[in-house]
Amino acid sequence: MNRSAWIQLTSLICATGIWLTAAGAAAPAGRIPGDFGPPQGEPIHAQLTSPPFVPPPIHRNHPAKVIVELEVREVEKEISEGVTYTFWTFGGTTPGSFIRVRQGDTVEFHLRNHPDNKMPHNIDLHGVTGPGGGAASSFTAPGHESQFTFKALNQGIYVYHCATAPVGMHIANGMYGLMLVEPPEGMKPVDHEYYVMQGDFYTVGKYRERGHQEFDMQRAIDERPTYVLFNGAEGSLVGERALKAKVGDHVRLFVGNGGPNLVSSFHVIGAIFDRVRYEGGVHEQENVQTTLIPAGGAAIVEFYVRVPGSYVLVDHSILRAFNKGALAILKADGEPNKAVYSGKEVDSVYLGDLAANPAAVAEARAAEARGTLTKEQQIKAGEARFTGTCSVCHQASGEGLANVFPPLARSDFLMADKQRAIGIVLNGLTGQVTVNGNLFSSVMPPMSQLNDDELANILTYVRNSWGNSGEAVSADEVKQMRASTRRPEGAAN
Ligand SMILES: [Cu+2]
């Protein structure tokens, strides 16, 4: 060891009050790094928050005893518009309540399993030093409570999850969350802190297939998720529920990945992370576009909002974003800065049908369930789904583009045959087609990834907009066409 390294080491030892032997091992017993001695003052009840919120920073200069009370609840919630799922949760939400403590704190953990629950549960906190991370000490039957205590020795952002067999099933049902262990000196203040956590979900029914959906163990084993989501539901962070910031703000996201299977390529469209504490550790990377977040891992990402608009959080394994739900919005208000960015808002480009009116879709679903669905409701819901789906080619005006995309507005071809139109949207169209006397010879891809309701509503909308008027298309008609025709090779079913 050279002289300056020795001086650095000895000053580190003095600063932390830890004595290291020549070999670098900690001694004497009882004084280990991160242990700042016994808790001081009155015990504190931890303030827990539901996503996307984060408890306030800790301004404390001594270790304390912190009591965490977390209740497991099995709850039925919407996983997507009109689709329900039974989530198993820590604190009633997926991801579970956010826990914030200070390095050196003694955490007295109480895990309750609500009496209405059907399953036993426990908790494994990655921020715990000790076998199982609390799992063995916290196995709790419905209607019971268990308690264990640990010292938060290491600072960082840590995943916690249920570890009751079958573990994969408990995690797939939403049993994970984050615990932040702040460094003793606290974290650098920022304007907003938010809590976002990704997870993959496996349902028996297809993506957006309505009604109650059961967990599909085989799909989970095969790692073929139906949904990949931020904060436990498609659209959990869009529209009214979008994360909010102002131009000039420095935003910090605590981003976890509960898995159970997928690794996240976390990206914010339109932002560059000025700092990332990757893998939740203390090292910082700068100027990052996309950061990998392993299943059972987390990161802290920070970025400045320089211009107003919608910033889209995605898993950049991009079909997960646009076809499985892994998409959220941070909406920034403020004055434009044309010198930094002259472009327009991203809504129609990136947000697709999520930017449109989700209430209309919900209303149509509810009406259909009651058997009172009207053509008007179908048209409104169809308009929402048309946006960002068909409008990229046929245009929001339905006019198409000369010589490339045929018009839907006042289209003689569209209106002549309802069944044929259903078939075209399901199975695509190639070869020559004459619309209003103009010849088109191009390719429309099959849009069979849309479900029967979506497709019926879209066609009802296009057949009753821009000067067209015709009968509604029902979900049953689409279903029959799907059953009686074959999709081209490679199309979604
Ligand atoms: Cu569990």
- How big, in percent rounded to 5, are the helix, strand and coil portions of the chain? 25, 30, 45
pLDDT per residue, tens digit, the chain (493 aa), is 344 443 344 334 333 434 333 333 444 455 899 999 999 999 999 999 999 999 999 999 999 999 999 999 999 999 998 899 999 999 999 999 999 999 999 999 999 999 999 999 999 999 999 888 888 889 999 999 999 999 999 999 999 999 999 999 999 999 999 999 999 999 999 999 999 999 999 999 999 988 999 999 999 999 999 999 999 999 999 989 999 999 999 999 999 999 999 999 999 999 999 999 999 999 999 999 999 999 999 999 999 999 999 999 999 999 999 999 999 999 999 998 888 888 777 765 666 666 667 788 889 988 988 999 999 999 999 998 898 789 889 999 999 999 999 999 999 999 999 999 999 999 999 999 999 999 999 989 899 989 999 999 999 999 999 999 999 999 999 999 999 999 988 888 7
Q: CB–CB of 272/289 below 8 Å?
A: yes
CA 175 to ligand 1 centroid distance, Å: 6
CA 68 to ligand 1 centroid distance, Å: 18
CA 126 to ligand 1 centroid distance, Å: 16
CA 162 to ligand 1 centroid distance, Å: 5
pLDDT of residue 489: 86
Give CA–CA dist 90/96, Å, rounded. Answer: 4
CA dihedral 139, 141, 145, 150 (to 10 degrees): 10
How many secondary structure helices (H) and strands (E) does the chain include? 11, 25
CA 116 to ligand 1 centroid distance, Å: 14
pTM of structure: 0.85
CA 164 to ligand 1 centroid distance, Å: 5
Give CA–CA dist 268/153, Å, rounded. Answer: 32
Q: CB–CB of 117/49 below 8 Å?
A: no
Q: CB–CB of 268/309 below 8 Å?
A: no
Q: CB–CB of 206/126 below 8 Å?
A: no
Nearest to 268 by CA among 277, 255, 281, 279: 255
CA 90 to ligand 1 centroid distance, Å: 9
The residues, any chain, with a CB within 8 Å of residue 26's CB and separated by 6 or more, are 18, 19, 20, 32, 33
Q: What is the distance of C-alpha 117 from the center of its chain?
A: 25
AA letter at 283: H
Q: Supply the DSSP symbol for 206.
A: P
CA 256 to ligand 1 centroid distance, Å: 18
CA 129 to ligand 1 centroid distance, Å: 21
Give CA–CA dist 440/404, Å, rounded. Answer: 7
CA 176 to ligand 1 centroid distance, Å: 9
Give CA–CA dist 301/138, Å, rounded. Answer: 31
CA 259 to ligand 1 centroid distance, Å: 14
Give CA–CA dist 296/124, Å, rounded. Answer: 11
The total of other beta-carbon atoms located within 10 Å of residue 193's CB is 22
CA 76 to ligand 1 centroid distance, Å: 15
CA 213 to ligand 1 centroid distance, Å: 19
DSSP string, 216-276: -HHHHHHT--SEEEETTSTTTTSGGGSEEEETT-EEEEEEEEEESSPPEEEEEET--EEEE
Nearest to 85 by CA among 201, 217, 236: 201
